[in-house]
Amino acid sequence: MTRLGFLLDSDSCIGCHACTVACKSEHDVPLGVNRTWVKYIETGTFPDVSRHFSVMRCNHCDDAPCMAICPTNALYRAPNGVVDFDDRNCIGCKACMNACPYDAIYINPATNTANKCNFCNHRIEVGLEPSCVIVCPVHAIQVADLDDPNHPATRIIGRDDVAVRAPEQGTNPKVFYRGADQASLDPLRTAIADDGMIWADTTPSHPTVPAGSHGVIARTTYTTAHHATWKEKVSGYLVTKAIAAGVMAVAALLVLLGHAGEQAAVGVVPPIVAGVFLGLTGVLLVADLKQPGRFHYLLTRGSWESWLVKGAYILMGFAALTGVWWVGGLAGSSGVVEVLALPTAVFAAGTAGYTAYLFGQCEGRDLWQTPLLLPMLLAQAVTAGAATYSIMDVFMDVPSAEAVRWTFVGGLSAMAALVATEVTASST
């Protein structure tokens, strides 16, 4: 067996960026994005100041969260242990970018697909070393076969004091740093300089903890920018699917309260409203893809390990039940509506809540890893559905309107309690 990793010697690194340039040349990496880059930090106070260099890249983790979340197997494990990618399968969903704790994945602006360091696997396969290893003037980058205890770099890893980035994420990274200042590996230990960085923009919002709590004084003077990936479209999708799921959940509640015979307020209008917002959900999701023409890969090349794929099937199941509910309501068949009430409520809960499991796969976003997210999404859907029914009550007679209003109050109260719990927990 072969299990390749990198040994990066920060004691030897001179910060020349030869590895970055060689990587760009080898893979035609466009300007503005990087597969590998050198991070500069400065420690100490004048006149005792030191500058430290650390090479940053994909860690080719043994338990790679990017592979787990990828919905189309565009990221896969090569036989030599390298995490490689296949542009032909990528739909540009950017889930892997949120899953990576190392910000090592980017969208290639030339192909609109996710790219990253692939260990120069095309060179490895013909017996050559990666371009960054060849070009480094001080031999600060070495390839290690971690399954071979006699490999020179593997012996160094086993003998010397080495460190990895973000070990708390449980990804088992295979990039090992020798001689690296811990502040260069932990972004919370450094402050971004507010007087500008070398060849880069200042990011004053960079989170920082007091230096004294870690016993170091450090600031980042050069690194690369990594922009937010899921923005307004994903935020909008959370709202639209909450409305779609919530209105059908409230309709199911009214059926359980004995109002299945209310054709307009229960049988016809709710599935129409849900269908419209479910359609908007689909539009937002497809529009957020960098390769929207490949959206069907979720079904034809889907990986069941990814909650993007599971979520797609949940949405389709919910859409099918909503459609049948509408047909039954249109035909005035209260029996059909009664039969569909329970499964529709279950799929409505799945539609509202599956995103919590999707966000749970995003190991690179620690603030999304809260157990309160699932109940928050469910409470959000109940609130949105009851609010939608309250608006419907202006135009038609909604049965048990008082119960609907109390459902809204209950959902809103649950959301407030969950927010208070989260804030209290994060402040302790």
pLDDT tens per residue, range 409-424: 999 999 999 999 998 8
Using the predicted structure, report yes or no on whether residue 201 has a pLDDT greater than 60: no
Query: Is 72 part of a structural domain of the chain?
Result: yes
Average pLDDT, stretch 23-52? 90
In this structure, what CATH number is given to the domain that contains residue 295? 1.20.1630.10
Query: Is 151 part of a structural domain of the chain?
Result: yes
Whether residue 261 sits in one domain with residue 213: no
Whether residue 12 sits in one domain with residue 80: yes
Using the predicted structure, report yes or no on whether residue 197 has a pLDDT greater than 80: no
For residue 192, name the pLDDT band (cuts at 50, 70, 90): low
pLDDT at 151: 95
Tokens 């309250």 belong to residue: 390
Give me the DSSP letters along 111-139.
Answer: TTEEE---TTHHHHTTTPPPHHHHH-TT-
Query: Is 165 part of a structural domain of the chain?
Result: yes
Average pLDDT, the chain: 92
Using a pLDDT cut of 70, give the percent of the chain over it.
93
Q: pLDDT tens across 243-299, in order?
A: 999 999 999 999 999 999 999 999 999 999 999 999 999 999 999 999 999 999 999
Q: pLDDT tens across 57-109, in order?
A: 999 999 999 999 999 999 999 999 999 999 999 999 999 999 999 999 999 99
Query: Is 200 part of a structural domain of the chain?
Result: yes
Closest CA to 114 of 75, 65, 61: 75
pLDDT at 43: 84
Whether residue 304 sits in one domain with residue 365: yes
Whether residue 177 sits in one domain with residue 280: no
Host domain of residue 82: 4-222
Using a pLDDT cut of 90, give the percent of the chain over it.
83
How far out from the chain centre does Cα 40 lie? Answer: 26
Whether residue 405 sits in one domain with residue 282: yes
Are 94 and 72 spatial neighbours (Cβ–Cβ below 8 Å)? no
Question: What does the alpha-carbon distance between residue 86 and residue 93 come to, in Å, rounded to a whole number?
Answer: 14
Give me the DSSP letters along 274-321.
Answer: HHHHHHHHHHHHHHT-SSGGGTTHHHHS--TTSHHHHHHHHHHHHHHH
Last residue of one domain, picked from the residues 222, 247, 275:
222
Query: Is 227 part of a structural domain of the chain?
Result: no
pLDDT at 209: 44
Q: 211, exposed or middle or buried, with CB in 10 Å at 0-12, 13-18, 19+?
A: middle
Number of domains in the chain: 2
Last residue of one domain, picked from the residues 222, 252, 267:
222
Whether residue 288 sits in one domain with residue 189: no
Last residue of one domain, picked from the residues 199, 222, 245:
222
Whether residue 236 sits in one domain with residue 214: no
In this structure, what CATH number is given to the domain that contains residue 143? 3.30.70.20
Whether residue 305 sits in one domain with residue 247: yes
Query: What tokens were used for 194?
Result: 């507010």
User: Which amino acid is located at 316 in the chain?
Assistant: M
CB atoms inside a 10 Å sphere around CB 7: 23
Whether residue 309 sits in one domain with residue 169: no
Show the beta-strand stretches assigned E in 21-157: 36-45, 48-57, 75-77, 83-85, 106-108, 113-115, 141-145
pLDDT at 205: 52
Angstrom distances, CA of residue 317 to CA of 278, 324, 398: 12, 11, 27
Element (H or E) spanning 426, and its range?
A: helix 401-427
Whether residue 158 sits in one domain with residue 11: yes
Question: What does the alpha-carbon distance between residue 240 and residue 271 come to, in Å, rounded to a whole number?
Answer: 14
Whether residue 161 sits in one domain with residue 204: yes
Q: Tell me the whole-structure pTM to 2 decimals.
A: 0.91
How far out from the chain centre does Cα 181 lie? Answer: 28
Instruction: Report which of residues 209 and 308 the model is more confident about.
Output: 308
Whether residue 155 sits in one domain with residue 66: yes
